[in-house]
């Protein structure tokens, strides 16, 4: 899979959908600050701050997936 295919697979995913997928991976919603949902996971040093936009930018989503310790394929399987 090259970079162009990766961007296509991450297109049209909303913040709400991303939060649900991260919850399935064990992340817990800790609250909301403005338009961002804060998520934590026991044993992970990183926190996720997921924007609640209708469509997340591919680079933003890719960064959240990496910080969550997932691969893109693992994340897409959770959707």
Domain boundary assignment for the chain: 3-78
In tens, the pLDDT along 2-43 reads 444 454 578 889 999 999 999 999 999 999 999 999 999 999
pTM for the complete prediction? Answer: 0.88
Q: Which fold has domain 3-78?
A: Metal Transport, Frataxin; Chain A (3.30.920)
C-alpha separations of 79 from 16, 36, 43, 45 in Å:
11, 19, 23, 24
């Amino acid at each position: 899979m090259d970079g162009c295919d990766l961007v296509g697979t991450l297109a049209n995913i909303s913040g709400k959908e991303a939060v649900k997928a991260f919850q399935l991976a064990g992340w817990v919603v800790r609250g909301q600050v403005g338009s961002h949902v804060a998520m934590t996971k026991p044993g992970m040093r990183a926190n996720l701050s997921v924007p609640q936009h209708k469509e997340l930018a591919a680079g933003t989503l890719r960064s959240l997936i990496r910080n969550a310790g997932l691969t893109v394929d693992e994340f897409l399987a959770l959707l």
